[in-house]
Structure formats: C-alpha cells, structure tokens
Structure 1
C-alpha cells in the first residue's frame, strides 16, 4: 500500500512540476524569427540536430505541440504563440542583465552599502565619497551610522565598514580589518583658559586630574582609548559631564563647562575660539579609523575602487596635516624665543 501511495504522489508531483530550460525557449524564439531551423542553428553556432533536440525537449516540457512545419518554414501553434510572450520578455531581461553586468564591470552601476561610526561618517569618509561619486556617478552609495559593536554584527548586510580604535569585537569570517586613517586624540579647551599658555606645547594626562572633563558616550572609541591611557598610568578621573558625539564635546567646551578629548581631524574646520594640545608629548595618543573590508576573493570592483580612493585621500590629507603641525610648532618655537 505504501508503494502505491508513493507512486500516486510522484505522478501528482510530476504533473505540477515544469522543467523548463530558458535556452530551449530562446531557441524556439530564434527559429520562429528566422523561419528556419538551419538559419537559427547558424546564428546560435549550433548544429541542426542540437536545435531539433532543444525544440523536442521544450515540446515535452509543455506537453503539447508548440510549432508545426509549413513547407520549409516553422510556424507556431496557439500554445506556442502564448509561450512566445514569455520568450520575448525573457530575451529582453537577459539583455538587460548582460548590460547590467557590463556596467558593473565598468563601475557604472550598482549600490555600495557602507556602515560607519558617527565620527567616521562626519569627519573622515565624506571627501572620499564625494570623489568616488565624481568618478563613478552610476554607483549609488548608502551610508548607515552605528556604534562599532553594532557595525560588526551587521557586516553581512554591508559592503564596507569604517570603525574606530579600539577594536574589541571578533572580525566576521569573510572580512578583514585594514588600518586606514592615522590620527591623534588631543585635548581641547577654550581660548582664554587659565592654562592655555602652559598647555599650548603639550600636556601630560596627570596634569588634568583636577579639571572637569567633558566625556564622550561610553561606546566612543576616543573615550575608550583615553581611558586605557589613564589606566596605564594608574590615574583616576572624575566623570563630570557625558555627552554624545564630538560636536557635543566641542559645544560643551566652548560653553566653558570643562575640557575635552577629540580626534585632531574633528577640529580641522573649527572656529579659532577652541584651542587644542597634544596629550603625552612628544608621541601623543595615536588613534586609527579602520576599514572593515571583504576578503580579497569576496571584494567587488566597486568596493576595491572605494578602498583605493580612501587610502589615497587619507595619505594626501595626512601629509598636509603633518606639514601644518610642523609649521605651527616652528611658529610656537619662534614666539617662545622672541
């Protein structure tokens, strides 16, 4: 009895299943347009037996005749005419797909999904994205902001990630971390701060214990990096004010609520009412923005193009920033001598 049921199920399953080969459908379309199996075989670079075999298999898949011969020509049956509507649509979509693939190869189509921390999104990646869009206007860019831990969790849905030091999360299996933008964390304070003259050439962390600090949110890479430096020195700082984002730190310092820590890049276009100093001179507190990118075998052309552009951009800006720092140091030294 069990075998009988299996047989009935297979018959029903066979009746509902259509094994349709798209190439067979496109072959019939070519034969009908050329009105000749011989001519269609030449255009498709196939032998006539191969064309006939495709047509025969297509007939079997449908279950009734799709064409008939009229003299030397091949003409459609009503069933074949109905099927040709889908054959034409299939041909058009295949052409569109081929064109899309060609544009992808030429970096003129597609979407790049990028995840970044707020600091990376606001201060580090915009110039690179602008240059990329100028170079490849056909590629759409989508940027989502989230904390580092959240970005690592969502990398399977993203093409690239831009995250801050320190990296405490496990890197997803198909991704790798590339150090990208080397920066320094600096102390910021208002222009007429009582210690402005003393701090202008640098300040050690232990000198700041008694001053109110404007802290970033706990998941901030800048905050975590400074906290590690404090821990290394065995220091203890008070938590006076806590705000979200580098801009909020700048505004709180501008309001003279306290001093704060930000990445040097964050001050690139700030007003001159805020001053900054290197922490723990002469080496400072080094800090990186990192790129989470797919492993080489998984990387698209568009992803690789953006990574290459980002690297060039950071090198160019870093060189300019270093020159500015040297000029400022020289200016300070001359002023001190005078």
Structure 2
C-alpha cells in the first residue's frame, strides 16, 4: 500500500507510546505508523493492527543509547523511501535509579538516551519531515520543582556536566535527579528548536511541542528499579489511581491510555488548540507554563550548542548541516 505520510514514535511498543500509537493509527489509517524501541520483535505493531483491523503499523528496532545505531537507523529510513514524516514523536525515556550508567558512546545514560539520542534522530530526519510536520517531545512534570512529583529538583549546570559527570557530581546526584534533569533538557531543547524553526525555515511550518503525560503507574519507566519498587509501580499503584489523586492533591495522575490520547492529540489532532502551535508545553490536554528554569534562554542555547557540537564531532560541515534545519 502507498501511504500518504509517515508517523514515527520512539518508545512506541509499550506504555504511553503504545497507547499513543494505537490512537494515532486509528485516526490516520492512510499513514504508516512506525514504532521504534530497543526490543519488541513486532508484537506491539501486530497487536495494534489486529485491534484495529488495519495493517499500517510496523516495528523498527532503535537503540537511542547507541549513536552509531541511530545513524544507521536514519540511513535505513532514507533507503526505504517512506512517505514524508507527518509527525515525529520523541517519546522514549529511561530512568536509572542506582549508580551512574553510561551508553556505548560514554554518555551518562539518562541524558544520553532521553536527550542526545533523540536530538540526533531529529537532525538526521529533518530532510524527511513534511511541510507542517509536528515534532512532539515527551517530557515530565518532574522537571518543575514547583509541581508535586516526589522527585528531587533538576540541577542544570551545563550539558557537559550531565553528559560526563565527575565522580563527585555522580555521587551527589541521584538517578532520580538525573531523570528530572533530563526532562528539563527535553523542554529546554524544545524551546531552542522551536525558535530556530520559526527563524530559519518558517515557510515549512514545522512545529514542536513538549508534553507532561503525568504520573502513569503501570508503565515500564521504572523497569531499571529494584524488585519491590517495580512491583509497587506496576501492580499496586495502577489499582489505586483515584486514591493517589486525592492524596497527592493533583489530577495529573493518569492511566497510560489517557496520557496516550493526549500525546496522540499533540501529534495528529486537528483541534485549534494544537494545530500550528509551537514552542509550547502541555500537561495532558492543557497548555501550561513549564518550569522557571526552562525559560532560561542561556540554558537553552548552552544545551543546543553543546548538543550540536558533540553530535558533529568537531566537523564544521556536519555542524552546519545540523544548524541549517532545511
């Protein structure tokens, strides 16, 4: 079948991403929906196709913690001659509660996967974005110290300190704090990207927005945690969501299907509240202000410059390509 467009979702094989993919595939039967994650062996794609009686969902393996693998993925995407990308949903994310872990490229893994891998994927896929395409970044309310989240506040000194923390820094920052900081990076990068898209290629109409899906008991986010924490998050808390909302005094606790619908809406929804909207932050279906630090333009630019510099490896031609956003 010749599809009119393509929609790519990272982390689309489970939890939030799976439910978003299900809603997107249902709403866009004429688009090919690509689910990408480290490992799945096509079960999620087959499950969605069976549930909808369609065949427009496929699986493509992608490890965001391996930058050479991300580059290979982008080459394979180009070689497959997919229809233009209508939406790029940068949703995958991991949390490492214990000691510092690193990617194959030597980056602290939370920062490397949640930010750097996604940034590289975006830059490599820019030529394949359709006019008026949407880029959606899954962040988290944990990036905002003024919101209740139960997480340590993020600490952003520099991108280099996050990528290659010193032993002293690694010892003083917990894995949960590194996660919250990576989610702040998602919002900083969203705003830096939105500004560049508006300034350098406004004629293309590409938009970018960030989403806080809320706390979602039952997802695989905590799969790197200990056995007791995994059991609590996956088995106990999903059954207690109404109680949790009362105790936490927030409505921002959702089942994955609810947050998946909010993510799908940002990616392909036609409502006035999301169509053509760029450089904004949403909590579920509501546009809200993100954290104070996220509006710090110096932090946005520092993260952007470091990211482009690191990904280009000092090659000026590569740096120029990353910056052009053609």
TM-score by length of 1: 0.29
Structure number with higher strand proportion: 1
TM-score by length of 2: 0.30
